[in-house]
């Protein structure tokens, strides 16, 4: 999938299979009029209302006609879809607001110093952790489009835990060898 990355440029991104089917279903449900639509448009009613008024005014429609058109639809998003008025992408603040409401409704308790809800970056962090554990820092860095140094820094707790496990295993092996030599 082509995505607009943090670096403010378009680039191809690999998606894991469990993500593809829900995205296809979502796209089919949204049925955007063109390919140029954002994957996740804003659903903010004030933003969409202003967008509809401005775009239809630019097309030469009078305020009364615009009000009538808006009254024909349950939501301005539906009018935006029908008229191919390209909405902006959801903002980080908008995504946070939605995730906060969903987390509260699902009664999900999050123990995090900055927020008590599932945050947009949490999925990325979780995927990073899975990749580091399964394939190491280099693969995780490539997938996350970060430097290996940054990934090592962010996920240093994994290496520390693994080194602790290695040390425990080494002590158990030495203990096993030591106990074997005492019995011989």
> Per-residue pLDDT averaged across 88-113, rounded?
90
> Per-residue pLDDT averaged across 66-92, rounded?
94
Whole-prediction pTM? 0.68
Model pLDDT, residue 63: 96
Two structure tokens written together for 83: 């008229």
Secondary structure (DSSP) of 37-66 = S-SSB---HHHHHHHHHHHHHHTT--HHHH
Say yes or no to pLDDT of 156 above 90: no
Average pLDDT over all residues of the chain: 88
pLDDT tens for each residue of 52-71? 999 999 999 999 999 999 99
d(CA 19, CA 92) in angstroms, rounded, equals 20
Spatial CB neighbours of 63, under 8 Å, sequence gap ≥ 6: 53, 57
pLDDT tier at 15, thresholds 50, 70, 90:
confident
User: What CA–CA distances, in Å, run from 67 to 7, 40, 49, 72?
Assistant: 40, 26, 10, 9
> Per-residue pLDDT averaged across 122-132, rounded?
88
Percentage of residues in the chain having pLDDT higher than 70: 95
Spatial CB neighbours of 124, under 8 Å, sequence gap ≥ 6: 144
Q: Which helix (H) or strand (E) holds 10?
A: strand 10-12
d(CA 4, CA 76) in angstroms, rounded, equals 25
Model pLDDT, residue 60: 97
């Amino acid at each position: 999938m082509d995505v607009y990355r943090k670096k403010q440029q378009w680039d191809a991104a690999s998606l894991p299979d469990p993500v593809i089917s829900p995205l296809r279903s979502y796209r089919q449900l949204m049925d955007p009029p063109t390919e140029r639509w954002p994957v996740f448009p804003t659903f903010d009613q004030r933003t969409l209302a202003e967008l509809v008024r401005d775009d239809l005014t630019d097309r030469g429609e009078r305020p009364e006609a615009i009000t009538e058109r808006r009254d024909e639809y349950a939501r301005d998003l539906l009018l935006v879809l029908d008229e191919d008025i390209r909405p902006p992408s959801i903002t980080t603040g908008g995504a946070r607001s939605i995730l906060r409401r969903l987390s509260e409704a699902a009664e999900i308790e999050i123990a995090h110093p900055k927020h008590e809800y599932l945050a947009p970056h949490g999925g990325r962090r979780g995927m990073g952790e899975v990749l580091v554990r399964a394939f190491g820092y280099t693969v995780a860095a490539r997938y996350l489009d970060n430097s290996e140094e940054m990934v090592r820094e962010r996920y240093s707790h994994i290496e520390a835990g693994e080194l602790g496990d290695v040390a425990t295993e080494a002590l158990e092996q030495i203990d096993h060898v030591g106990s074997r030599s005492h019995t011989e």
